[in-house]
Amino acid sequence: MTEPLPRKIGVANLETVYNQTNYVTITEGEKTQLVYSSPLPNRSLFQGRKTELEELGNWLEDEKTVVIGIRGEGGIGKSTLAAKIFDECLGFAGKCWIDVRTGTSMIEVAERALQEFGMSPAQMQTIEKKDLPHRLLRQLQSGRFLLGIDNLESLLNEQGSWQDGYEDFLDEFVELGGGSIILLASREYPPKYFKWRGSRWPILKEGLEPIEGAELLKALEAEGTDEERARISEKVDGNPLALSLLAGWLREEFRPGERSILHLEQQLDLFGVEGKHRGEKQVSLQRVFDWSFNRLSQQTQFLLSQISVLRGSFNREAASTLVQRAVEDTELHDLERRSLLQELSVSEKNGLREYRLHPRIQDFAQKKAGDLTITHQRAINYYWKHRNLNFQPNDDLEAVNEYLETFYHQFTLSCYQEAAQTILDCDKFLYRRGYYQFLINSYQILHDNWQPTLEQYEEYTNICLNLGSAYNSLGEYQRAIEYQKQSLTIQREIGTRKGEANSLCNLGIAYYSLGEYQRAIEYQKQSLTIQREIGDRNGEANSLCNLGLTYNSLRQYQRAIGYYEQSLTIQREIGDRNGEANSLCNLSITYSSLGEYQRAIEYQKQSLTIQREIGNRNGEASSLCNLGIAYYSLGEYQRAIEYYEQSLTIQREIGDRNGEANSLYNKALCLKVLNRLEDALQYLQRALIIFTHINLEHNIQNCKIHIAQIQTFIEFIQFLRSPPLWFYFAISLVGVLIIWWIKK
C-alpha cells in the first residue's frame, strides 16, 4: 500500500523521515547568491512589458498563486520577462532558477534547488538521489520560496507528455499548496495542467512596440535614427530574438561607425538571419519555428500549413474546408498549446470557437507549405458561401467580413477582376457606414497592381470612380479629381455612356467641394444630359440634387429648391431612400438660408429618420450638423451644441475630416455667442488645422477671422483685469493734472 503523501514527505509532524531532518536552515546571505542556479537571461537591455510586469507582480504577491506559466512562441521574450520578474520580486526566503533546455532531470533540479535554498553539502550526502524531489517538496512547503524553470518545452515529448518525473513532482506541489511559487517559461504547456488550481498561464502574443524595439536595437549598437530602427522593429513584429540577431549580424559584419540599420533593408528575409543566442550558435527565428513544427505529426503539419492562408479569425469548419477532412477543436487546441495558434472566444454567430494565426507564424507555415493556390481557392469558396446577403442598419464591418476575406484570397491569386467585383458588391454598404479609408486601401491596391485587358476596362474604371469618391469623402479633393478624370478618360475610350455620366457627376462634386462652383455646374449639366439621354433615372436625380447644392452655394436659393424638388420627385418614384434623404437634407439647408428655420428643421428631421433607417452614418452626421445650424439660427445655442456633438462623434468614427472640421467650427460659433471664449478658441484652432490640411481656403479664412476676433477680445479683457504699470502711471498723471487744474 502506498504511503500517504503528507507522511511520505514528512510535513505532518516533526519526526524524521528516513533518518533525515525535516527543515533546512537558511541564512540571509544564502537567499540571494544564486550559486547553484542557472545563469539568468540578460536583463540589462530589457524593454517594455510594463503591463505584463505589473500583472506578474500582482500574481506573485497573491497567496493563492501556486504556479505561473509564461508561454508564447519562440523568441517572443518569455525567458527574459520571467527572469526580470524573478530577479526583482521580493518576499521570498529563497529563489532558484533552472534552465532545463538540455533535458535536465527532476532529480538534478531538486539537488540544485535544495542547495540554493541553503542545504549544506553534509546534509545533501545523507539523502538518496531518488528522494531529492520529495525533499524539495517538503522544503517548498516549509516557507515561501520561488523556483523558476526556463525552457519547459524541453521536458515534454512530441505528444505533450512529461519526461523524467516532473509530472509527479508538479502534481504533488499543487496538491500540497503552501506559500511557494513555481515560475515557468515555455513554448508549450502540458494539456491537462492548464487548469491547475492556483495556476496562471499568461501568453505573450505580441512583440515590442516599435519605439521599444528601436531602443533595444540602439542598446545593441545598431546605428541609425530612431525612426529607421523603429521601422526595422515593425518589420519583424518587435520580436526580441529577431532584433537581437539582426543587431548581432551588424556587429559581426561591420565595424563601429559603419553598422547602419539601413544595411538590414537589403536582407530579403529578416527572420532568416542567424546568430548567437544564449550560448547557442546559428540560431534564427526560422530555426526556432522549425523546432516546433518538426514536433508535429504529418497530419498536423499539413493542417497548420493549410490554415496559414487564413489571415483573420476562423473556426474548425473553415479549417475542415481547407484540408478536406473533418477537423476537431482538439487538434486546433493542440496547436494553441504549442503557441502556434491563438484561441479566441466562441463566436456569437455560429457558436463555434474562433482561432487566429499570428502573422509571423503564418509566414513561417506558408514557407513550409509551398504552392497554396488550391487552398486559396477553397478559402474563396468557403467565404463566398457564407457571405451575408442582407445587411441591417446597425451592422458594422464584421457584416462584410466574408466579402473582405474573399477579396483578399482573390487578390492573392492575382484574380483582379473577380476581386474588383467582390469589393464592388459591398461598396455601397462600406460607403454608407463611412469606411472610407478601408475602401481606399482596397481600391488602391487593385488600381496599382491590375493591368486590365480591354474586356476588363469597365470594372477597372469603376475602381477608379469609387476610389475618387472615397478620397472626396475624406476631403482629399485633388486626389479625387485625379482618379475621376482617369475614369472619365477610359469611359469615353470604351464608349460607356453611363460610366461617363457618373464620372462627370463625381467631378462636379469634387469641384463643388473645392468651391469652384461654375466648373462644378458645367460637369453636373454634362452628366445630366447624358443621364436623360440613356434614361438613367437614379443618375438624373443625383445630378439634379448636386446642381441644387451648387446653386445654393451661389445663393440662388429658388433655383436650388427647384432642382431639389425635381430630384426628390424622381427618388420617391424609384424608391431611392438614400437619395430621398439627401434631397430632404439639402432642401433644409436652402430653407435655412432663406430664414425659414422651422421648415428647415422639419425637412432635416425627415432626412435624419431615413438616414438612420438605412444605416447611412455619413448622412446621419450631416443631418445632425445641419439641425445644429438651424437651431443656432433660432438662437437655441445649447440645443445646437448638442446636435454638433452628436455629429462630431460620428464624423470622427468614420474619418470624415471635412465634416469633423465643420462641426468643430459650428460648435465654436455657438460657444463664442455664449461667451465661452477659451473653449471657442480651442475648437476653432482644431478646425483650422483640418481645413488647412485639406486646403479649403474659404473655410481657412473664416476660421482665422474668428480666431483673431476672439484673441483680441481676450487680450482686451486681460488688459482690463491686470493693466501694465504704464497704465497706472498714466492714470496717476491724469489725476495730478486734474487736481492742478482744479486748484488753478
Residue 729's pLDDT band, with cuts at 50, 70 and 90, is low
Decide if domain 536-655 falls under CATH 1.25.40.10: yes
Helix, strand or coil for residue 223? Answer: strand
Set of cell numbers at residue 134? 520529495
Interior angle at CA 214, CA 212 and CA 216, nearest 5: 70
- What DSSP state is assigned to residue 14? S
Helix ranges restricted to H, 514-615? 517-534, 537-553, 557-574, 577-593, 597-614
Each residue's pLDDT tens digit, 271-330:
777 776 666 666 777 777 888 888 889 999 999 999 999 998 899 999 999 999 999 998
Asked whether the predicted pLDDT for residue 253 surpasses 90, the reply is no
- Same fold across 5-204 and 387-518+527-534: no
Alpha-carbon gap, residue 109 to 128, rounded angstroms: 14
DSSP state of 714: H
Architecture of domain 5-204: 3-Layer(aba) Sandwich (3.40)
Evaluate if residue 21 carries a pLDDT over 50.
Answer: no
Question: What is the SS3 assignment for 613?
Answer: helix
The answer on pLDDT for 26 being more than 50 is no
Identify the CA nearest to 203 among candidates 42, 81, 25.
81
Q: Are 188 and 154 in contact (CB under 8 A)?
A: no
Residue 97 sits at φ, ψ, to 5 deg, of: -120, 125
**Residues 428-449: pLDDT tens digits?**
888 877 788 889 999 999 999 9
CA atoms within 13 A on the CB side of 70: 30
Give the residue-averaged pLDDT of 79-92.
91
Q: Tell me, what's the pLDDT at 731?
A: 63
CATH 1.20.58 corresponds to the domain 656-744: yes
Distance (Å, whole) CA 595 – CA 607: 19
pLDDT by residue (tens digit) across 655-706? 777 888 889 999 999 998 898 888 888 889 998 988 887 666 778 888 899 8
Task: Write out the three cell numbers for 507.
Answer: 467631378
**Is the pTM here over 0.95, yes or no?**
no
3-state secondary structure of 7: helix
Phi and psi, residue 184, nearest 5° = -115, 150
Which amino acid makes up residue 207?
G
Q: Are 110 and 121 in contact (CB under 8 A)?
A: no
What is the H or E stretch that residue 87 is in?
Answer: helix 78-88
Q: What residues contact 335, with CB distance under 8 A and at least 6 apart?
A: 300, 303, 304, 341
| Per-residue b or e along 38-75, where b marks 16 or more CB atoms closer than 10 Å to that residue's CB | bebbeeebbbbbeebbeebeebbeeeebbbbbbbbbbb
Highest mean pLDDT among 396-400, 472-476, 663-667, 699-703: 663-667
Pairwise CA distance, residues 251 & 265, whole Å:
16
Query: Across residues 112-137, what is the average pLDDT?
Result: 89
Alpha-carbon dihedral sign for residues 511, 512, 514, 518 = positive
Task: Tell me how far apart the alpha carbons of residues 319 and 325 are, in angstroms, rounded to a whole number.
Answer: 9
Q: What is the pLDDT of residue 6?
A: 37
CATH superfamily, domain 387-518+527-534, is Tetratricopeptide repeat domain (1.25.40.10)
C-alpha cell at 396: 458594422
Cβ of 687: how many Cβ atoms within 10 Å?
A: 25
d(CA 201, CA 189): 9
Closest CA to 52 of 83, 97, 95, 94: 83
If DSSP codes are grouped into helix, strand and coil, which group holds residue 95? strand
Query: Judging by DSSP bridges, how do beta strands 275-277 and 203-204 pair with one another?
Result: unpaired
Are 339 and 70 spatial neighbours (Cβ–Cβ below 8 Å)? no
Query: 176-210 pLDDT, tens per residue?
Result: 877 899 999 998 887 767 667 888 888 888 888 99
**pLDDT, mean over the chain:** 86
Instruction: Decide if 427 contacts 439 (C-beta within 8 A).
Output: yes
* All cell numbers assigned to 550: 451648387
Per residue in 541-599, pLDDT tens?
Answer: 999 999 999 999 999 999 999 999 999 999 999 999 999 999 999 999 999 889 999 99
| 207 and 177 Cβ atoms separated by less than 8 Å | no
DSSP 354: E
Cell of 514: 473645392
In single-letter form, the type of residue at position 243 comes to L
Greater pLDDT, 741 or 504: 504
Q: Where are the domains of the chain?
A: 5-204, 210-290, 387-518+527-534, 536-655, 656-744
Nearest-angstrom CA–CA distance, 72 and 66: 20
Residues in contact with 137: Cβ distance below 8 Å, sequence separation at least 6, in sequence order: 9, 169, 172, 173, 176
